[in-house]
Chain A
Amino acid sequence: MSIGRREFIKIAAVTAGAAGAGSASAATPHAEGTDGPGVLVDTTLCVGCRACEAACAEKNELPTPPESDDVMLQRRDTAPQVFTVVNRAEKDDGTVRFAKKQCMHCLAPGCASACPVRAMDKSPEGPVVYDPSKCMGCRYCMVACPFDVPKYEYDSWKPRVRKCSFCADRQAKGLKPACTEVCPSGALTFGRRSELLELAKTRIYTNPGKYVPHVYGEHEAGGTSWLYITDLDLEKLAFRADVPEKDIPSHVSGALSAPPFVMTLWPPLLMGLYVFSRRKNGAEGEEHGKEDHHG
């Protein structure tokens, strides 16, 4: 008994290990090389007018955001009926900064890789979009998003996952996302991601000492379509600072390459063990049928 079980585990561990090692060396599929649409957010230019919030609500038929700027006294998060929010933070020298938050439209989105039914999916054009008609409501996409973006309609009997869609429908018609169209200050620049990355770095290098020398979204979670440059710690503006550089799907791919091994290895292995154990049992095993009960 103990031998059988020990072998069993050893084999299981070896199988799993081999699978993990095999995929670790494999290149990450879609983290690089995508050059879809993007937005550069320059938080030093944002004036906190919240026109983007209003435009987003109008475009997506969401409740109008509160008029009063008092809401910015508290940290806010996106919600089922709020796809973007502008947060406010004070710098050490007393000046204030703002940054809008929404779905980052990751290049290799954790949410989409988590979804078992592809209700959350990355469209070939770039935006990460959601289709409620496929969604089972497992909320695994919420578990998977490192930026805590997808929100859930818990109050409904047929709830949806809600988040910014990057105005995929407007983009399909050749229009800019609603928020970027109304932004009066030039804080939001819509364009090709690669060009925006250039622009971001140019701004950082041509204004020495002005910006934090880091483009948030260049590498976070394997890269995102939305990029941010700032002159303060983004964590103060309610952004997660702990997002790993490795894209989320690649954390799982090692384990996920195990099933094919299991499916091809297990049956012959187990049948082999079966035959072996019969032979070991010898005469006794031959006399009785194998399921026989000797009691």
Chain B
Amino acid sequence: MASVQAGAVTAQQSFVREKILLGMGWREYARSCCTKGNAIAAAILVVGLPIFVYRFIAGLGATTALSQTAPWGLWIGFDMMTGIALAAGGFTIGATVQIFGLEEYHPIERPAILTAFLGYVMAVIGLLADLGRPWNIVMAMFNFGTASALFEVAWCVMCYTTVLLLEFTVPAFEWLGWRKLHAVMRKALIGLTVLSVMFSTMHQSALGSLFLLAPTKLHPLWYTPFIFVFFFISAIIAGISMVIVESMLSHRAFHSQVAGNHVDMDKLTLGLGKAGALVMFAYFFLKLQGVIDGHAWGYLPTAYGALFLVETVGFVLVPAFLFAYGARNAKVKLVRAAGVMGVLGVILNRLNVSIVAFNWNQPVRYVPSASEVIVSITLVTIGVLAFRWIVNRMPILREDPRFAAGHH
């Protein structure tokens, strides 16, 4: 009896040691965590988390710069709108590998799905902070406001986060060594990918549809009846760009993980660049068409026009050329630079639509409060920490030899 218990305890200990502490003892592990990056992250959390909690006690007025003319601020414009767009890598790469059968992209599928999953979880947490009555979020399951684009967004986010969680269980079960469940989930992956494309298509565009009912409030350069198509296509741009940027960063940050894993990242990056160029050119011409349809030419020589040009020329047309040139001439660095610009461009676009160009004709302008900025930074930090924690433990950037071998 005692020995069984002792055995269980050591098994427990070695599980913690192997799976959680990266094979180190507690003390050793704690020491390995004392890095500069962690110190910065800790500082952010120490400031940000109390503000996050305080917001629920004191209300939105005490923590945000929102007003009667600016009902939506940074938490919707950045955490929600941008977070979800940047998470689009999950479905774009998922579809590329699972549906179009481009196997060579498999090595970047898992990090893309993980990024997407964390992106959605952070967006949902940001949303909870933004909702005035977050406890009533369950109401969306019982009261069907089907005429509302937000209803569609709510449901799709709910379903898609679940799908991403299920997709994520594949590496998680490998990590835990649960073979049977892993086999089941792996089989389910195609089905899940179809679902993920379906939900993503719907709500990436529905995020754009949200603004359709504000024809007098959104600046004419951004308001078009096709804004939902724009949102969908720019989400694909965000997805591709984000995968390029994230694989660049993670291959730098997680050297040990990738060592011995002979993936030709450069080739994949060039391929993504080619796709990025195509989508970005298409998007640019659609944006142009939007201006023509909306007869919004007259607004181009204004300050908003300048902003619009920065967004569409500086962060769509220019990176499109960089993508095309880089991909054709095998200049990986250019493609990566274009990827960074693509990410920034989509952030800029989402912020423009939801904050800067919204209620543009009202006298009172919204400028986010320090608390709003800090909470957003905190959420991003938590996302990055979670990503790192998982990548260091689970087979995300590398294959688990036990599972890869079983398949040959």
Which B residues lie within 8 Å of A132 (CB)?
133
Interface string of B264-275 (1 = CB under 8 A from A): 000000010011
Interface string of A256-295 (1 = CB under 8 A from B): 1011001100110011011001101100010011111111
Report the nearest B residue to A16, measured CB to CB.
Answer: B229
With A136-B131, A155-B62, A285-B101 in contact, is A146–B216 under 8 Å at CB? yes
* B47 at the binding interface (Cβ < 8 Å): no
With A116-B140, A251-B212 in contact, is A9–B282 under 8 Å at CB? yes
CA distance A248 to B205 in the complex (A): 19
* A134 at the binding interface (Cβ < 8 Å): yes
With A143-B217, A270-B194, A293-B399 in contact, is A262–B202 under 8 Å at CB? yes
- Which one of B27-35, B36-44, B145-153, B333-341 contacts A? B145-153
Interface string of B59-99 (1 = CB under 8 A from A): 11110101111011000000000000000000000011011
* Number of chain A residues close to chain B: CB under 8 A: 80
* A115 at the binding interface (Cβ < 8 Å): yes
The answer on a CB contact under 8 Å between B149 and A252 is: yes
Which A residues lie within 8 Å of B150 (CB)?
114-116, 138, 140
> Distance in Å from the Cβ of A128 to the closest Cβ of chain B?
13
B144, B147, B232 pick with most chain A CB within 10 angstroms: B147
- Which one of A64-72, A93-101, A175-183, A239-247 contacts B? A239-247
* B331 at the binding interface (Cβ < 8 Å): no
* B134 at the binding interface (Cβ < 8 Å): yes
* B404 at the binding interface (Cβ < 8 Å): yes
* A135 at the binding interface (Cβ < 8 Å): yes
CA distance A144 to B145 in the complex (A): 14
Report the nearest B residue to A4, measured CB to CB.
Answer: B100
The answer on a CB contact under 8 Å between A295 and B262 is: yes
The answer on a CB contact under 8 Å between A252 and B407 is: no
Report the nearest B residue to A151, measured CB to CB.
Answer: B68
Interface of B (DSSP majority class): helix
* A118 at the binding interface (Cβ < 8 Å): yes
* B346 at the binding interface (Cβ < 8 Å): no
> Distance in Å from the Cβ of B60 to the closest Cβ of chain A?
5
- Which one of A51-59, A156-164, A200-208 contacts B? A156-164
With A2-B274, A266-B198 in contact, is A154–B60 under 8 Å at CB? yes
CA distance A285 to B104 in the complex (A): 12
CA distance A151 to B67 in the complex (A): 9
Interface string of A113-154 (1 = CB under 8 A from B): 111111100000000000011111111101110101001111
* A249 at the binding interface (Cβ < 8 Å): yes
* B213 at the binding interface (Cβ < 8 Å): yes
B59, B142, B214, B262 pick with most chain A CB within 10 angstroms: B214
* A49 at the binding interface (Cβ < 8 Å): no
> Distance in Å from the Cβ of B90 to the closest Cβ of chain A?
15
* A13 at the binding interface (Cβ < 8 Å): yes
* B8 at the binding interface (Cβ < 8 Å): no
* A254 at the binding interface (Cβ < 8 Å): yes
Which A residues lie within 8 Å of B217 (CB)?
143, 146
* A232 at the binding interface (Cβ < 8 Å): no
Which B residues lie within 8 Å of A186 (CB)?
none
> Distance in Å from the Cβ of A117 to the closest Cβ of chain B?
4
CA distance A5 to B404 in the complex (A): 28
* A238 at the binding interface (Cβ < 8 Å): no
Besides A1-B275, A20-B225, A115-B148, 15 other A-B contacts (C-beta < 8 A): A5-B278, A9-B233, A114-B150, A114-B213, A115-B145, A115-B150, A139-B71, A155-B61, A157-B59, A158-B133, A159-B133, A242-B361, A243-B216, A255-B208, A262-B198
